[in-house]
Copies of this chain bind each other. A is one copy, B any other.
């Protein structure tokens, strides 16, 4: 049994899990608040302490742990183990040597990987991506992250920045995206973009049960609340997911043309809307793509939920540390 630590550096919480990387099983885990406002040094100290505590509480000794993988929600240079930019964490992380710092404080080898590439790797090896060699992942939450498995390899691109499928442009004339480009999928179908469609509907007084569900407090509107309204038969709420699914299907049609993946996986919190989102996505993709055999491309929800990231990054660290790079 090879045991590695998978850690998720989230905007709200830090999570560390001991993972059996042969089976994908999570053996032990714990979570604490990130408290990102305290700055990167404080956050790195908290991560190290969390990891050491999880190992200790698990009953395994440090020498039984092969190493640590950290999933990070931002732009990294994975070869140098450095964080370049974390868009969704307060405070700046300019050129922070995350891997080296944690190696010093834990005494274990550390590898870092973008959080959604971690999910991609986890879903491919242990979840919805098993058994096929080319997989595209959209992870829909605060933003839309992405990841690619191509010909049986996690696609890294330059410094590990490849796979950002949420920044596939769907309208060159579209609204500015958080990334600085215009008309990216993320600007249309991320959690906040979906919530904003709900807020607009309520603010405009459309006939929707959403207003009652949020007690007319627009700040309480979330994709989950809109999904509840849609499931209770609300046509306005259904339309919102139809639209988001359509935008996703357009981006997926570009990915089908360029990559021809065998499977497209939709993960992240917003994917819990299930067929409200996946059915229009699939319908759009299948009706638009004719340049390749789109009937051979499956769309599936993620299967591993919150564990995908820690499982994936633990396994990824294992495969790199054991091969010595």
Q: A residues engaging B (CB < 8 A)?
A: 75, 134, 146, 148, 150-151, 153, 155-159, 161-165, 167-173, 179-182, 184, 246-247, 250-251, 253-255, 257-262, 288-293, 296-297
Contact between chains at A292 and B169 (CB < 8 Å) = no
Give Cα A155–Cα B250 distance, bound, in whole angstroms.
22
For A75, A146, A172, A173, which residue has the most chain B Cβ atoms within 10 angstroms?
A: A172
Contact between chains at A259 and B157 (CB < 8 Å) = yes
Which residues does chain B contribute within 8 Å of A251, judged by CB atoms?
169
Q: How far is the CB of A165 from chain B (nearest CB, A)?
A: 6
Contact between chains at B255 and A181 (CB < 8 Å) = no
Contact between chains at B150 and A290 (CB < 8 Å) = no
Give Cα A171–Cα B250 distance, bound, in whole angstroms.
9
Contact between chains at B258 and A258 (CB < 8 Å) = yes
Contact between chains at A262 and B181 (CB < 8 Å) = no
Q: How far is the CB of A81 from chain B (nearest CB, A)?
A: 16
Q: How far is the CB of A255 from chain B (nearest CB, A)?
A: 7
Which residues does chain B contribute within 8 Å of A163, judged by CB atoms?
258
Q: How far is the CB of A290 from chain B (nearest CB, A)?
A: 4
Contact between chains at A257 and B164 (CB < 8 Å) = yes
Partner of A260, one of B134, B157, B246: B157
Which residues does chain B contribute within 8 Å of A167, judged by CB atoms?
253-254, 257-258, 291
Which residues does chain B contribute within 8 Å of A159, judged by CB atoms?
260, 292-293
Which residues does chain B contribute within 8 Å of A292, judged by CB atoms?
75, 157-159, 161-162, 164
Contact between chains at B161 and A293 (CB < 8 Å) = yes
Contact between chains at B181 and A291 (CB < 8 Å) = yes
Contact between chains at B168 and A257 (CB < 8 Å) = yes
Please name 21 pairs of A and B residues whose Cβ atoms are closer than 8 Å in the assembled complex, sorted by A: A75-B291, A148-B258, A148-B259, A150-B150, A151-B155, A158-B293, A161-B260, A161-B291, A161-B292, A164-B257, A164-B258, A165-B257, A168-B258, A171-B171, A171-B172, A172-B247, A180-B288, A180-B290, A181-B253, A181-B288, A255-B258
